[in-house]
Chain A
Amino acid sequence: MKLYDFIWLVPLFPLMGAIFNGFVSNRRGLSKKTTQSVALLGAGAAWIYGWAAVLQWYFTEDHTKPYVVKAFTWITGGNLTIADGSTAAVDISASFQVDPLSAVMVGFVTFVGFLIHLYSVGYMHGEPDRDYARYFAYLNLFMFAMLTLVTGSNLPVLFVGWEGVGLCSYLLIGFYFEKGWCAAAGMKAFIVNRIGDFGFLLAIFFAFYYFGTLEFRALFDAMAADHGGHYATAATIIGLLLFVGAIGKSAQIPLFVWLPDAMAGPTPVSALIHAATMVTAGVYMVARCNYFYQMSPTAMLTVAVIGGVTAIFSATIGLVQNDIKKVLAYSTVSQLGYMFLAAGVGAYVAAIFHVVTHAFFKACLFLGSGSVIHACGGEQDMRKMGGLKKYMPTTYWTFWVATVAIAGIPPLAGFVSKDAILAKAFEAGYTDLNHHGGIYYLLWFLGLAGAAMTAFYMFRLVYMTFEGSFRGGEEAEHHLHESPWTMTLPLQILAVLSIIGGVVIGFPGQLFHLEGWSFIDRFLGPVVLTHGEHHGHALSLGLEWVLVAVSVAVAVAGILVARLFYLKDPGFTRASYLASRFPLIYRLLLNKYWVDEIYAAIIIRPILKLSDLLWEFDARVVDGTVNGVRNMTVGSSWVSGIFDLQVVDGLVNLVGRSYDVASRQFRRLQVGFAQGYAMVMVFGAALLLGIFFVVNL
């Protein structure tokens, strides 16, 4: 049996779990044990089946072509005339595919997803039964949506998953909806995502308009066959619009504002959605549609610039935040920026590679922070933590490992993937890619600076949280404890993966001129449209090593500065001196460049004002018209009532009365005295007889 013929089962398993927990466990208030068994079963089945199917596919099928499985015909329509004047039939099926890119995504989404389900069992145990069921229903639904997204074989199916993860994100961020700010954060995420989705939807329409199909494989073939640049305009339009969607989903400038607020949700959600999986959907989509970007230098440059600027922009914000989850949130935005930078220089494989390694260490970091918050009784301010390594050794070492990984210290996972991205960015500058070499050099430099900042703020976080002495007071210190095994086991697994994951799946072969050694490069190679040209080694071996040395040096510098400021200096006097010395910069960073406030001023408030205006219009003009019509109706029916009562009824009564008057004289005859009638009869008969006789005489 070919397991991958039923690849649609992978998203279906968690969907069944979601349906059970959402409609049965939540409604009936079933016990936590039932709920978590169903949820883990849904996620676990997806994991095991997904891996089994992918492995079987890996060993039996041709990797250069996607293996497409059609589940059912979804949308059929008539023929439409498309851009080149021919007609194309609207025939969209719910079909799923296995190809290297989907395989990688299924592989790590199901795995990380399952670990986070397991972690949630420990983290959410304090919730009431019904909320617990609701939580797991959403979490399973999220898995369904994400797996639909990564296994779909055409843009509409991808879009279903895309909207699905947006919905689940809204539901989970607003999980504690009794708190107004959590509900608001959920809505913010949803609305900001919708802005991006608008671009995505337009991209789908344009794709159909230009190509008459929405299947990835057919689009790939159409672009691959286009050697004359015939589709260059189409590629630019579609590429940029798709990227608008990716900006929203993957929290890039200018739509990154929702991600830091998304920390309102439970911490495992932050780990699952806002670090490991959902936000990488944008990167996945750009990598999936790489053929558009490959044909459009404009779109590539846009992606690279947005990615590179976001990487440094949010890293600077991360430098000064005090909320442990906020730091991680801005770190996520920054890392996503690196992924887009990679995509923008054509290194889609490096982007996906960083997605995978980032999923390992960022999930580990978020789950670790959840463990910390759990121990500190919900406290998220790092200024009230400190010295936790003594109380939670497992959380500490896993967190430390993931921090080293994200900081880019060889040979951990973060180093391998991030260095691949920086090397590719430098290479793009070096080879003067699309004649934008200068810009790419600049972006490489921004990425390098961002890497230094990443190392600084992550070690700042570790030192503030785990080193020194506890600053949260006696009472809280008493409650500090290590988390249960369901929480620490995922941490340990993810920590191990953060160490070895990078080298195992993406051995940095280019450093030794051993390209074939990188599994992920070999595996994902066919997914990217290259048009046959091959550059060979653009950078010499020596230059590669110089780049590695530079990026390791900046990372170490960042760590050392953090060490100086936050480990050797328990009162953080150096940091506060610096903050008071440059108050403007400090406040600019602390307030996140006032981006939220600027949006509020130039977008939200005008919209609210416009809605007020429209409401006024509605209340006064529209309602006024409606009320006017009502008043006119009432008035005219009043007149009509008068007419009815007076004229119509009057006529009827007149007829009645005229009969009454006319009959008054005849009524007298009816005396009601039977013998009187008899007498009249007799005399009448006598009279008639008399007349008879007289006439006959």
Chain B
Amino acid sequence: MIDATHYVALSLILFCLGLIGVMMRRNFITVLMSLELMFNAVNLNLIAFSFRLSDLAGQVLAIFVITVAAAEAAIGLGLIIALVRLKDTVALDEADVMRG
């Protein structure tokens, strides 16, 4: 029997993978994909608790998160294009013009 605990555990694993990807990878695209992974881990968590608590609010919130994620992806891709135009690279550590 698969219960909420499993979902939460899976969600935690996915979130940690995404977090590690965001922090460690140099490629901006990969970072963005890792970010998506973190969103989806959160969504999974929301749905799991919605199901467990029989409260649809969690699923509604998941839909909102997906919507926001889509917008975020668009902005992220725009940033990638801007970075490529500026520095001719997608390596995130190259974008350091604001260094103090």
A interface residues, Cβ below 8 angstroms from B:
666-675, 678-679, 682
Please determine whether B99 and A670 come into contact, CB atoms closer than 8 angstroms: yes
Bound complex: CA of A674 vs CA of B24, how far in Å? 11
Closest chain B residue to A681, Cβ basis: B23
| Known pairs A679-B23, A682-B19; A674 contacts B95 (CB<8 A) | yes
Beta-carbon contact of B31 and A672 below 8 Å: no
B96 touches A673 (CB 8 A): yes
Q: Which residue of B lies closest to A669 (CB)?
A: B100
For A682, the chain B residues whose CB sits under 8 A away are 19, 23
Say how far A549's CB is from chain B's closest CB, in angstroms: 129
Within 8 A of A (CB), among B68-93: 92-93
- For the complex, count residues of B whose C-beta is within 8 A of A: 13
Q: Min CB distance, B32 to chain A, in Å?
A: 12
Top 4 nearest A-B pairs (CB, nearest first) are A672-B99, A670-B100, A672-B96, A667-B100
Within the complex, the shortest CB–CB distance from A661 to chain B, in Å, comes to 14
- Once the chains are docked, how many angstroms separate the CA of A407 from the CA of B99? 118
Nearest-neighbour CB distance to chain B for A528, whole angstroms, equals: 111
Whole-angstrom distance between the Cβ of A624 and the nearest chain B Cβ: 62
User: Nearest B residue to A667 by beta-carbon distance?
Assistant: B100
Distance in Å: Cβ of B18 to nearest Cβ of chain A: 11
Is residue B1 contacting chain A, with contact meaning CB distance below 8 A? no
- Closest Cβ of chain A to B33, distance in Å, is 14
A672-B95, A675-B22, A678-B22 are known; give 20 further A-B pairs, CB within 8 A.
A667-B100, A668-B100, A669-B100, A670-B98, A670-B99, A670-B100, A671-B99, A671-B100, A672-B97, A672-B98, A672-B99, A672-B100, A673-B92, A673-B96, A674-B92, A675-B23, A675-B93, A678-B23, A679-B23, A682-B19
Q: Which residues of B contact A678 (CB under 8 A)?
A: 22-23
Chain B: CB-nearest residue to A680? B23
Residues 12-51 of B, flagged 1 when their CB comes within 8 A of A and 0 if not, give: 0000000100111000000100000000000000000000
Give the chain A neighbours of B100 by CB distance below 8 A.
666-672
**Closest-CB distance, A664 to chain B (whole angstroms):** 9
Name B residues whose Cβ lies closer than 8 Å to a Cβ of A: 19, 22-24, 31, 92-93, 95-100
B35 to chain A, nearest CB (A): 10
A675–B92 CB distance below 8 A: yes
Q: Which residues of A contact B22 (CB under 8 A)?
A: 675, 678
Query: CA separation between A242 and B92, bound complex, in Å?
Result: 108
Q: Which residue of A lies closest to B19 (CB)?
A: A682
B99 shortest CB reach to chain A, Å: 3
Of all chain A residues, the one with the shortest Cβ separation from B99 is A672
A672 to B23, CA, bound (A): 14
Q: How many Å lie between the Cα of A675 and that of B31 in the bound state?
A: 9
- Chosen A-B contacts, 20 in total, with CB atoms closer than 8 Å, are A667-B100, A668-B100, A669-B100, A670-B98, A670-B100, A671-B96, A671-B99, A671-B100, A672-B95, A672-B96, A672-B100, A673-B93, A673-B99, A674-B95, A675-B22, A675-B31, A675-B92, A675-B93, A678-B23, A682-B23
Residue among A667, A670, A675, A682 with the highest chain B CB neighbour number at 10 A: A675
Of B22, B24, B100, most A-chain CB atoms within 10 Å: B100
CA A682 to CA B97, docked complex, whole Å? 23
Hey, which chain A residues are within 8 Å of B19, CB to CB?
682
Closest B residue to A663 by beta carbon equals B100
Assembled-state Cα–Cα distance A672/B94 (Å): 9
Min CB–CB distance B21 → chain A (angstroms): 10
How far apart are the CA atoms of A668 and B96 in the complex, in Å? 13
Q: How far is the CB of A360 from chain B (nearest CB, A)?
A: 108
Most buried by B among A667, A669, A678, A679: A678
Name the distance in Å between A684's Cβ and chain B's nearest Cβ.
13
| Alpha-carbon gap, A679 to B92, bound state (A) | 14
In the bound assembly, the distance between CA atoms of A672 and B100 in angstroms comes to 7
CB-defined contacts of A670 to chain B, threshold 8 Å: 98-100
Bound CA–CA A671/B93 (angstroms): 10
B8 to chain A, nearest CB (A): 16
CB B90 to nearest CB in A, in angstroms, measures: 13
Shortest Cβ gap from B37 to chain A (Å)? 14
Chain B residues within an 8 Å CB radius of A667: 100
Report chain A residues within 8 Å CB of B98: 670, 672
Min Cβ gap A541→B in Å is: 132
Whole-angstrom distance from the CB of B34 to the nearest CB of chain A? Answer: 10
What CA separation (Å) do A669 and B99 show in the bound complex? 9
> Can you name the residue of chain A whose Cβ is closest to the Cβ of B98?
A672
Chain B residue, CB-CB nearest to A671: B99
- Cα distance, A675 to B24, chains bound together (Å): 7
Nearest neighbor of B25 in chain A, beta-carbon distance = A675
Residues in chain B near residue A675, CB distance under 8 A: 22-24, 31, 92-93
Whole-angstrom distance between the Cβ of B14 and the nearest chain A Cβ = 15
Q: Which residues of B contact A668 (CB under 8 A)?
A: 100
Measured between beta carbons, the chain A residues less than 8 angstroms from B99 are 670-673
Query: What's the Cα separation between A673 and B92 when bound, in Å?
Result: 8
Q: How far is the CB of B96 from chain A (nearest CB, A)?
A: 4
Whole-angstrom distance between the Cβ of A674 and the nearest chain B Cβ: 6
